[in-house]
Amino acid sequence: MAKAPLVQKYRFVTGRFASFTVFTAAILALLLASSSFAQAHRHYTAPHFSAIVIDAQSGQVLTEHDADQATYPASLTKMMTLYLVFEALEQGRITLDDSFTVSAHAARQAPSKIDLEPGERVAVRDLILGLITKSANDAAVTVAENLAGSEPAFADLMTQKAHALGMTNTVFRNASGLPNPAQHTTARDVAKLALALWRDFPKEYAFFATQEFTYNNNTYETHNHLMEEFAGMDGIKTGYIRAAGFNLAASAVRNGRRLIGVIMGGNSAVGRDRQMAQLLEASFAGNTMSEDALRAAAYDDTFGNPDNATPAMAGLNPVSRAEAATPGQSDPRRNPLRPAANPAWSIQVGAFANFAAAQGAGVTALSRLPASQDKTALVLPPAHSDKQPVYRARVVGFTEAEAMKACRILHHAMTGKQKLCAVIPPQPASQAAYQLQLQLSPAAGSPATPVSQPAATDNPPADAPGNSEDD
């Protein structure tokens, strides 16, 4: 007679011995899981700072700091998700107007998300825009499941493509970048991916310049605020989870030359943006930055104080590339604005290459504010530290609370690049501009030239601290 399987021989064991056996098995499983987790974390148990800048045309590495250090990609993962979507578009397997079905698994994803519902049908175009602007995790999983049948199968395709692109130190385990101990990459590999996106999909790459996206009557703004603040920047992606820190892949072009920069493990969104701005600025100028200088850039107060801005920070203004509607007269003496009773706190609404554009931005912002009788638009003249003259647009005459409220109002009232606004505490430059205004036209005052200021730090979502995307 055949022997019964071993599992049947012991299935009726009861009592203390059975309890001990189950308990022992549970402990062993926990130890094995802990060992695997520790193994996966052996290279990056805490956020580790790394950076690289490459020349897109030549592929030359211009500067690097620990660029091969393993780390978590966070939502930079979505760059590969988008690569596979763009590839499917170019191969004719899908179109932008095709609709993908949202699964319950996709809808359950942690924020950031665009609140897709199970069974909902979403156009590929909207999923792409949701990935790029809101960094939507539900959109990422929807794309993965519809292209590959399941998210794990799609992640395998992501890893295969990564290795085909020369990203030899990258492994993907999901399509979103939400925490997974086995998912890792390096700054160098992310730079290779950014380069491949620009090189292989010149048409689709333009999606990365999208600044806002409306879906189901909700408008989502890009997390990549540096794209508004650094002249020449046109993409690509931010990322954050607690274990990774603040990541950023960025691309900027000046005088026909494109650079790609990657920073991993920044200590804050605004600090990371400061570092990227100085890193790219130095690289465009043919200079390199030491790691100590790059780390110090994250704490550089001039980023939040345009009156003392270094040349690298001069471009870090919310609407630095905007050309606002200009009034009929561009001469400040011919088109005076009423002086403020007291400059006090101010708001900064733009930085421009010419006075007229700055003046127009200030006038437009002022016209959108209720109870603005005691407020004045100023144009601050270019600072000595400006590599190129920059006219900065401010509205002055606020208390701190009023300035914060004014920025909230402008954020909702304005569109595009005009939506950005920064609160600025009392500063000597505002006082000087105000006095100059009085001297130019004692009766009515003339505008000086406003500057714009970097947007306030954008923190990870409070509803899922440490694990949510994005900054």
Catalytic residue among 50, 103, 135, 346: 135
For residue 396, list its beta bridge partners.
346, 376
Q: What is the rounded distance in angstroms from the CA atom of residue 162 to the CA atom of residue 90?
A: 18
Q: What is the rounded distance in angstroms from the CA atom of residue 354 to the CA atom of residue 379?
A: 10
Angle (nearest 5°) at CA 41 between 37 and 43:
155
Both tokens of residue 254?
């000046």
| Under 8 Å between Cβ of 440 and 429 | no
Q: Strands 50-55 and 257-266, how do they pair? A: antiparallel
Neighbours of 149 (CB within 10 A): 10
Both tokens of residue 305?
């104080």
Both tokens of residue 68?
């091969």
| Eight-class DSSP state of 171 | B
Catalytic residue among 75, 320, 430, 468: 75
Place of tokens 């954020």: 411
> In 3-state terms, what secondary structure has residue 361?
helix
Q: What is the rounded distance in angstroms from the CA atom of residue 144 to the CA atom of residue 124?
A: 12
Q: What is the rounded distance in angstroms from the CA atom of residue 238 to the CA atom of residue 471?
A: 7
Residue 245's H or E segment, with its range, is strand 245-254
Active site residue 150: no
Active site residue 441: no
Residue 240's H or E segment, with its range, is strand 233-241
The CB-based long-range contact list for 164-168 (8 Å cut-off, 24+ gap) reads 165/192, 165/193, 165/196, 166/192, 167/192, 167/193
Strands (E), 290-446: 345-352, 376-380, 391-398, 422-424
Active site residue 75: yes
Catalytic residues: 75, 78, 135
